[in-house]
């Protein structure tokens, strides 16, 4: 179970909504050459002046292209480039075209193109799709864009089964060895790109993409980790900010340790909401009673499968504590998955772990043939570059363990140990926690959900306060992110902002 700052939309986790987005004409308000006549260094001009060649994606209505970006923005003339895969779907009309709307589903490591084609390009409100070319890209290191690779499928299967609540020195040593093997695999297979997949690099790529698309300003909807990417862009290029929606926000001022501990508390909040709901149903496998009683029964189940995994239908992957915990966490991203979680837990407690294994596989993006998308590899590569590690070693985890277990009696220990992964990373972090102000940018809408499991509400409050022009829009509800998830109040407020440039009133709640 490696859930460390894996921040993405609920649909990408449960595979209910999908993956990334589109647009169709290359023209737009403001030509690339006139958007920033003096701001782009000469060495970057060949990248900003690229003329995309759009081709059919194989998905009706979408077009794709491939762009070049400098591997190292400090040395753009070296001839070392990365490839960036981009997809779009043209504005459907009628009405005035407003340019491109770039979308990002989070992660880091989530495929923008997958999200566009499976959800945003067809599922965003019709009025938005009518006036914007819907666009997304796989950020560098992700999916089709010079992807980070680390382990083979069988090796990743083993990694996902390693016990992340070690009970003795032997289990602790095995967990450390697994993190080291993971890091070494990334270095062996992806040494060239590992130092150059930070969020700052991805934000600079977005500005290049903005110019190539012919947009003077960047219009953007970022979900989950995508809020950090969007806020980073706004801080780097405040004068080029158009209409930015940051949904399910991160707090860039929090250290890696604090982010992981806050997220642990977020999953506890989400679990308690699930537990209260579960107890209302006669088929609740965790029984009746308050959230504390339900939580205790889940902990007992985790201890049981830790000692004796149950069959899952895959002899090589019985359901142990690590996979069971990941399966539960996957379903907490979206309250619509709660019935599925009840069913999976009921079966697992009766000796059939297939349901929870399927949830865990959806979380890790494991295919039926045993291969994995590169989500988890890119996730670690970006996170470990963006900030120094949460822990220097196992002793530091021991020190912090009580605070994690206080944040979540159910998930605290596992999430604390999962936060050790960057301690063995082969590339030193280039970023650090700091507030992002985006001084001079026009109004930016920050959306927070009060019982969000992955991005706690206080992060949205913090980001809205840091951004000089931040406006907080609150959704009082469950689940991860809010736009396009059934709240007419939220959708109306965001649509008005995207289409008319009118941000919601300060303090608006839905």
Stated length of the chain: 510
- Which among 61, 225, 224 is positioned nearest to 129, based on CA atoms? 61
Under a CB-based contact definition with an 8 Å cutoff, are residues 270 and 336 in contact?
Answer: no
Q: Distance between CA 319 and CA 312 in Å, rounded?
A: 6
Helical (H) or strand (E) element with 358? helix 354-364
Helical (H) or strand (E) element with 473? strand 470-478
Q: Active site residue: 201, 419, 478, 480, which one? A: 480
Q: Distance between CA 129 and CA 63 in Å, rounded?
A: 15
Q: Distance between CA 338 and CA 358 in Å, rounded?
A: 14
Q: Which residues contact 271 (CB under 8 A, 6 or more apart)?
A: 291, 295, 298, 328, 332, 408, 410, 411, 453
Q: Distance between CA 350 and CA 343 in Å, rounded?
A: 11
Under a CB-based contact definition with an 8 Å cutoff, are residues 260 and 415 in contact?
Answer: yes
DSSP string computed for 380-426: HHHHHHHS--S-SSHHHHHHHHHHHHHH-TTTHHHHHHHTTGGGG-S
Q: Active site residue: 452, 469, 478, 491, which one? A: 452
Active site residue 49: no
User: Both ends of the chain: CA-CA distance in Å?
Assistant: 33
Helix (H, G, I), strand (E, B) or coil at 444: strand
Q: Which two tokens stand for residue 113?
A: 């193109």
Q: Distance between CA 423 and CA 383 in Å, rounded?
A: 12
Q: Distance between CA 81 and CA 140 in Å, rounded?
A: 11
Match 């599922």 to its residue by tokens: 123
Q: Distance between CA 129 and CA 149 in Å, rounded?
A: 34
Helix (H, G, I), strand (E, B) or coil at 467: coil
Active site residue 452: yes
Q: Distance between CA 446 and CA 461 in Å, rounded?
A: 8
Helix (H, G, I), strand (E, B) or coil at 223: strand
For residue 503, the number of C-alpha atoms closer than 13 Å in the C-beta half-sphere is: 21
Active site residue 75: no
Under a CB-based contact definition with an 8 Å cutoff, are residues 136 and 87 in contact?
Answer: yes
DSSP secondary-structure letter at 44? G
Match 């993405």 to its residue by tokens: 8
Residues designated catalytic: 224, 452, 480
């Amino acid at each position: 179970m490696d859930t460390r700052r894996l921040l993405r939309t609920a649909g990408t986790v449960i595979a209910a909504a999908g993956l990334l987005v589109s647009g169709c004409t290359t023209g737009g308000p403001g030509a690339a050459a006139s958007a920033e006549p003096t701001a782009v260094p000469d060495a970057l001009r060949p990248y900003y002046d690229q003329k995309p060649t759009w081709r059919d994606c194989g998905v009706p209505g979408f077009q794709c292209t491939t762009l070049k970006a400098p591997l190292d923005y400090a040395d753009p003339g070296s001839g070392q480039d990365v490839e960036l895969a981009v997809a779009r779907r043209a504005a459907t009309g009628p009405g005035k075209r407003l340019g491109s709307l770039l979308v990002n589903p989070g992660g880091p490591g989530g495929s923008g193109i997958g999200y566009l084609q499976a959800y945003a390009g067809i599922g965003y409100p019709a009025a938005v799709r009518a006036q914007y070319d819907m666009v997304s890209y796989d950020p560098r290191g992700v999916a089709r864009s010079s992807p980070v690779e680390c382990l083979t499928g069988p090796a990743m299967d083993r990694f996902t089964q390693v016990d992340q609540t070690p009970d003795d020195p032997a289990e602790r040593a095995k967990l450390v060895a697994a993190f080291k093997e993971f890091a070494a695999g990334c270095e062996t297979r992806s040494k060239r790109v590992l130092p150059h997949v930070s969020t700052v690099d991805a934000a600079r790529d977005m500005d290049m993409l903005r110019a190539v698309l012919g947009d003077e300003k960047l219009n953007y909807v970022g979900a989950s980790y995508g809020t950090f990417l969007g806020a980073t862009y706004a801080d780097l290029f405040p004068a080029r900010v158009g209409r930015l929606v940051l949904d399910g926000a991160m707090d860039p001022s929090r250290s890696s340790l604090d982010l992981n501990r806050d997220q642990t508390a977020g999953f506890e909040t989400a679990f308690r909401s699930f537990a209260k709901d579960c107890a209302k149903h006669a088929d609740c496998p965790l029984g009746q009673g308050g959230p504390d009683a339900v939580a205790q029964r889940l902990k007992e189940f985790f201890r049981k499968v830790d000692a004796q995994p149950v069959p899952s239908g895959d002899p090589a992957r019985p359901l142990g504590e690590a996979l069971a915990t990941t399966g539960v966490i996957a379903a907490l991203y979206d309250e619509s998955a709660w019935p599925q979680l009840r069913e999976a837990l009921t079966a697992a407690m009766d000796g059939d772990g297939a349901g929870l294994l399927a949830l865990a596989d959806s979380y890790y993006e494991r295919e039926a043939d045993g291969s994995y998308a590169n989500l988890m590899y890119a996730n670690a590569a970006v996170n470990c570059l963006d900030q120094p590690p949460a822990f220097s070693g196992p002793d530091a985890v021991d020190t912090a363990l009580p605070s994690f277990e206080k944040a979540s009696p159910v998930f605290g220990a596992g999430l604390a140990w999962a936060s050790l992964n960057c301690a063995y990373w082969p590339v030193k972090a280039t970023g650090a926690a700091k507030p992002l102000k985006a001084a001079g940018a026009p109004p930016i809408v920050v959306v927070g959900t009060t019982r969000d499991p992955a991005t706690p509400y206080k992060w949205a409050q913090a980001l809205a306060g840091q951004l000089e022009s931040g406006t907080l829009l609150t959704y009082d509800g469950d689940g991860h992110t809010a736009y396009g998830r059934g709240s007419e109040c939220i959708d109306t407020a965001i649509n008005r902002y995207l289409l008319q440039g009118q941000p919601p009133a300060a303090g608006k709640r839905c």
